[in-house]
Structures are given as structure tokens and as C-alpha cells.
Amino acid sequence: MSILNSRIPEGSISDKWSNHKANIKVVSPANKRKLEVIVVGTGLAGASAAASLSELGYNVKAFCYQDSPRRAHSIAAQGGINAAKNYQNDNDSVYRLFYDTIKGGDYRSREANVHRLAEVSPNIIDQCVAQGVPFAREYGGLLSNRSFGGVLVSRTFYARGQTGQQLLLGAYSALNRQIAEGGVKMYTRHEMIDLVTIDGKARGIIARDMVTGEIKRFGAHAVVIASGGYGNVFFLSTNAMGCNASASWVCYKKGAFFANPCYVQIHPTCIPVHGSQQSKLTLMSESLRNDGRVWTPKKLEDAEKLRKGLIGPNDIADEDRDFYLERRYPSYGNLVPRDVASRAAKERCDAGYGVNSEGKAVYLDFKYAIQRLGKGTIEKRYGNLFQMYEKITDTDPYKEPMQIYPAIHYAMGGTWVDYNLMTTIPGLYAIGEANFSDHGANRLGASALMQGLADGYFVLPYTIGDYLAGEIMVPKIDTNHPEFAEAEKDVTARLNNLFTIKGKTPVDHFHKKLGQIMWDNVGMARNAEGLTKAIKEIQELRVEFYKDLLVPGELNNVNPELEKAGRVADFIELGELLARDALNRNESCGGHFREESSTEEGEAKRDDENFAYVAAWEFKGVDVEPVLHKEDLVFETIHLTQRSYK
């Protein structure tokens, strides 16, 4: 029997959330005023949670490393947000959204959490409309929907190609209102560098003021981690430069279990890497696959000529083009889910058919759509994306096919939480991408925004009350408590240590090296040999890091290199855990593909008998192997089947 208690409520799947809400404790308004909550991160989950908690009467302290909460990386989400509104009369329902999400996640998510997510999804749309989010509308003035990969209904709400931005600005505006009213104290350019626990309960954080370098203590009755995912462990990803896992990682090191780190989503349509100096990868919306056809040359010699720049894509006749997705998956064609499309592109490039100078790109061609629909229609649908592509690559996608390649995009894994979104440390919560709970082994398009806002607006504000109701007699947390002093001493020593190594190598070099190890061995296709090698290489890298790191500048001033050093130190450790988890999970599911567990045609093969569990890792020390705890996934409602897109 696992020590993990997921606290899944009793009752049928559709009654669980109502039953739970009826049974959990509520804090009276008078007591809410006495309680403090810290929220780390101000993306969709963090901003919506901070605002909602403050509206309820709690005293909230919110933190972000950017100069404004509005800049959190939720802002970069393009496509849309799902909700089971059934506005299109296409037989959508809470159950269908629930089912699609479980299936899309390759049956590795928790049923009860996903059903709750589907249940609250309609409320999110209502909330955002009320906040003045300018969703796309039909001529009649009603909300418009578009369809997205992997589902049969049209349930995605959107605001042009900037849905994430608009939803975040909605949550940000709610947050601003609370800041103005005094319910939220906002700390921008502050980075959480440690969690403080007193008697086993989360009681505050240590943060570094990124302008003055000052180390500060903040106390609260509960701490909420909403700091996003760990995609930057791979160095090159679609995440923002500053995205990091440090807040989650210090919680892990203080006892919060970390779940399913090997589930990382690789997005198939990103602009390929050029040269070795690239800092970040740019995503091209998944919606492009609706009208673009993916291909590589049929002949190896053509691919070779393309790589050398001797010919262009338009010199290759249609019959010499291999539309490999249409060939391999005739029924879904170019619209197979993200993980499948990504692996197929890698397969082609590994076989020598890559088309850019590095041999790591395939074509996404709009020639056929333009012939069929006319340039005007394509321009209306994708004009802004085409313009963005041209700005970056200097090629005109109306005339020449786009080059695309998969890139790390989203982390399904994260801090382990129970049904209340509480981690294994009492009083410590994780919401949004930072937790692991809803997307299983693969996330469907337009579901990240849904989950972040569901957690922040409609789940956490209820469930946190269940814990805080027991804390009403606890006075304001005294930051002079020895645990705070201890934590502050630790982080100061840690920063000093990083700063005083004064080796010869700037932090980015280590980060790039880590990224290379991860991408090569823990990327789209993994095997035991590669993973074992990766673990060893990462350990060696860690030793080298602490020997040869060079952090310039001053401790008590703006110092981006010092910030990066702290983050990369954590990424190195997280990368190792990621590889370990991938090694442990000897099955292929969703974004995690083990070559040992595949069909003869090279398709993923899930192993429900041995791996239908959440792998939650417990920290035991930096050089000590972490302990694996298993939370068995019980499917009461949905019957498990092998995904097929043939």
C-alpha cells in the first residue's frame, strides 16, 4: 500500500466534485482576514488563484520573477481554451471532454481530477467573458469556436492567435484590482529560492529581490506553487528564457514528491534550430496542420542537395515528395496528435531525409491549400503566423514551404498533488503546469489554459479552505522563527557558493550541455542504454558545474548570471530525475516513447499491466537515489484501449 493518499472523493465520477465540495471545510470571512497565503508565479494559474483568494478575503502575497505579472509565459499560448459548453450543438458534454482528455493523455491521468476539470470548464469561459476578454464572436454576437487536434467536436474558444495573452490579461486585471484594494501584495522581480516548513507544514518562502540582491523572508499559512513547467531543462524549448523549475525543485527537496517527470510534450511544429547560437525555439501554432501538408523528399539524393542548398523545395516534383504522415496514418493524416507527429518527423530526419543544413527539419507545405482555397483564405487564417515565420527565417511561406521540427513545449509531469491540489507537504499546494494531475502522459491542444484557470479560479479557492480551516488559530507567521533563519542561511550559503566558484565556464555552457544530453538521450525516443548513459553524464556535468562555474557581477545587484546559475543547478538535478523516471517507465505512453516498448511498425505500445500508476519520487539527498512511490491509477469509468491513429 502506497503512502500516497490522493483523497479522491467517494461517489460516481460525476458526483465526486459536488460531494467533495459539500464535505470540505469552509473558513469564515472573519477568519479569512487573519490568514495569509503566498502564491509563487503569476501565470494563468497563479494570477487567477491570487485574485480569487484575495476576493474571498485572504491576505495574499504574490511573486513573479518578471517585472510584471502580465509577462508570465501563459501569455505565449496561441490556439485557444477548451470548454464543454456545447454551444455548437455538436453533442459535446462534460463527459466527452473528460473522455477526450483521459484518452489524449494516454490513460495516465487521474479520472476524478480530469472530470472535475471538465465540469468547471464552462465556468471559466463565463468568467473570462465577464472580465472583458475579447473572445472571437460570430456575426450574431455569440461566442465562436474552432476545432483542435485529437477531438471530434468544436469546443475551443479563442481570441485570434493570442488566446493565452488575453486570458492572462483577464486574470492579471483581476489581480490588479486586488492589488489596488490591498488584498494582494505583489512582489515583482522576486525569485523564490527556498520553502520554509515549520513542524512539517509549509509556512513561508525565502525570496531573492532580483534588483537589490537582498534575501527576504515571507511567512504565510499556506504556500501555493504556480511556477509553471520545467521544459527549459532541455535548454532549447518553446518556454521563455526565464522559465524555471526552481520553486518546484526546492519544494521537492523539502519533501514534496515529484510526479512523472518523464512526461514532456514535444510539439511538432516549431521553427527548426539554426546554428549553435540559438537561444530559444519558436512555436508555430498547431492549427497550421489543418491546411499544411507535411513532407520530406522521397530520394536521399534530393535531401542531400537540399541540405547543401543546391536545390530548393519547389524543385522537387510532387511524385518525389513523401507525405509521410498521410502515408503512415491515412485516417488522421497531418492531424495526428502531437507526440505521433513529432516522432514521425524525427524518424524521417534520422533516416537522412532532413531538409535544412543541419538535416533536422521537414516541410510544412501550403502550396496545395493555396491552390485549393486561394491565397486570400490562407492569409486570413494564418496571416499573422506567416508574417512571424518570415520575420524569423526570411523566407516567404506563401512561396516556399515552411521548415518545421519538433521542440520541447510543455511538462505534463510536476509536483505530486492530491485531489485538493495539496502536495505531500501540508499547506503546500501546486497548481497549473507546476502540478502533474490532469494531462497524463500527453496534453491535448487548448487544455493547458483550461487547467491553469480551473485550478486558480474554481478549484484551489475551495480546496485550500479545507486546510486553512484548521489553521485559524495560528497567528501571523513569525519570520524570526529559527526555521526561517536556517533556510535563509542555507540559501545565502548556496548563492555564495555558486558565486565564489569562479571557474572558467559561464552558466549557459552548462545549460547547453545539459540540454544536449537531454535531447539526445531523453528526448523523443528513449531507451535503457541511452537513459543510463544520460544519468551518468548528468552526474558528471553536475560535478563539473560546481568546479568550473563562472558567475560574474555582484551578489547584491541585478545579476542575471547568478539567477541562471541557481536555475541551472536545479535543472541539472531535475534532468537526472527525469532520466531516472524515464528509465523506470519501461513502456511507451503519450510523450514518453521507449524504443523497447513499441510495435513492429515502430508505434508506441503502452503497458497497462505494469505501469498504470503515477510515479511519485521522494528526495533523499543529492547523491542518493530518490525513492519511488506509486499511486495506482484506477479507471472506474473509462475502459482502457490502445490509441490508434492509423
Q: Whose grid coordinates read 491570487?
A: 50
Which of 75, 192, 266, 604 is in the footprint of another protein by CB under 8 A?
75
Cα–Cα distance measured from residue 201 to residue 417, given in angstroms and rounded to the nearest whole number: 15
Q: Does 552 bind another protein (CB under 8 A)?
A: yes
Comparison of 64 and 325: residue with beta carbon closer to another protein:
64
Which of 66, 93, 539, 598 is in the footprint of another protein by CB under 8 A?
66
Cα–Cα distance measured from residue 515 to residue 538, given in angstroms and rounded to the nearest whole number: 10
Comparison of 476 and 504: residue with beta carbon closer to another protein:
504
Residues 95-124 interacting with another protein (rule: CB under 8 A): 123
DSSP state of 298: S
Q: Does 140 bind another protein (CB under 8 A)?
A: yes
- Secondary structure (3-state) at 460: helix
Residues 301-320 interacting with another protein (rule: CB under 8 A): 309, 312
Q: Does 29 bind another protein (CB under 8 A)?
A: no
Neighbours of 496 (CB within 10 A): 11
Binding segment for another protein among 101-109, 134-142, 535-543, 591-599 (CB under 8 A)?
A: 134-142
User: Mask: binding to another protein, 181-220, rule CB under 8 A, as x and -?
Assistant: -----x-x----------------------x---------
Strands 264-270 and 258-259: unpaired
Residues 38-57 interacting with another protein (rule: CB under 8 A): 48, 51-52, 55
- Rounded to a whole number of angstroms, the minimum distance from the CB of residue 551 to another protein is 9
User: Mask: binding to another protein, 459-498, rule CB under 8 A, as x and -?
Assistant: --x-------------------------------------
Instruction: Name the catalytic one among 71, 338, 585, 594.
Output: 338
Residues 402-441 interacting with another protein (rule: CB under 8 A): none
Q: Does 68 bind another protein (CB under 8 A)?
A: yes
Comparison of 173 and 527: residue with beta carbon closer to another protein:
173
Single out the residue of 16, 131, 48, 148 nearest to residue 432, CA to CA. 48
Residues 6+ apart with CB under 8 A from 324: 294, 295, 296, 344, 347, 348
Query: Edge-to-edge strand order for the sheet containing 222-225?
Result: 184-187, 59-63, 36-40, 222-225, 428-430
Cα–Cα distance measured from residue 344 to residue 327, given in angstroms and rounded to the nearest whole number: 11
Q: Does 523 bind another protein (CB under 8 A)?
A: no
The dihedrals phi and psi of 475, each to the nearest 5 degrees, come to -70, 170
Residues 6+ apart with CB under 8 A from 11: 19
Q: Does 88 bind another protein (CB under 8 A)?
A: no
Q: Does 500 bind another protein (CB under 8 A)?
A: no
Comparison of 135 and 332: residue with beta carbon closer to another protein:
135
DSSP element (H, E) containing 119: helix 111-130
Comparison of 172 and 234: residue with beta carbon closer to another protein:
172
- Rounded to a whole number of angstroms, the minimum distance from the CB of residue 342 to another protein is 19
Q: Does 131 bind another protein (CB under 8 A)?
A: yes
Binding segment for another protein among 89-97, 111-119, 502-510, 623-631 (CB under 8 A)?
A: 502-510
DSSP state of 477: P
- Rounded to a whole number of angstroms, the minimum distance from the CB of residue 333 to another protein is 28
Cα–Cα distance measured from residue 205 to residue 195, given in angstroms and rounded to the nearest whole number: 4
- Rounded to a whole number of angstroms, the minimum distance from the CB of residue 166 to another protein is 6
Comparison of 379 and 508: residue with beta carbon closer to another protein:
508
Q: Does 457 bind another protein (CB under 8 A)?
A: yes
Which of 37, 97, 153, 240 is in the footprint of another protein by CB under 8 A?
240
Confirm whether 177 is a catalytic residue: no
Comparison of 86 and 109: residue with beta carbon closer to another protein:
86
Residues 365-404 interacting with another protein (rule: CB under 8 A): 387-388, 391-395
Which of 166, 246, 248, 287 is in the footprint of another protein by CB under 8 A?
166
How many chain residues are in contact with another protein, going by CB under 8 A?
A: 87
Residues 268-287 interacting with another protein (rule: CB under 8 A): 274-275, 277-280, 282-283
Q: Does 154 bind another protein (CB under 8 A)?
A: no
- Secondary structure (3-state) at 496: helix
Residues 503-522 interacting with another protein (rule: CB under 8 A): 504, 506, 508
Buried b (16+ CB within 10 A) or exposed e, 412-436: bbbbbbbbbbbbbbebbbbbbbbbb
Give me 205's grid cell: 518562502
Strands 428-430 and 222-225: parallel
Which of 9, 26, 31, 129 is in the footprint of another protein by CB under 8 A?
129
Cα 592–chain centre separation:
15
Residue type, 645: Y
How would DSSP label each residue in 61-103? Answer: EEE-SSSSGGGSGGGG--S-EE----TT-SS--HHHHHHHHHH
Cα–Cα distance measured from residue 415 to residue 575, given in angstroms and rounded to the nearest whole number: 15
Say if residues 2 and 632 touch (Cβ distance below 8 Å).
Answer: yes
Give me 189's grid cell: 522581480
Q: What positions carry a catalytic annotation?
A: 338
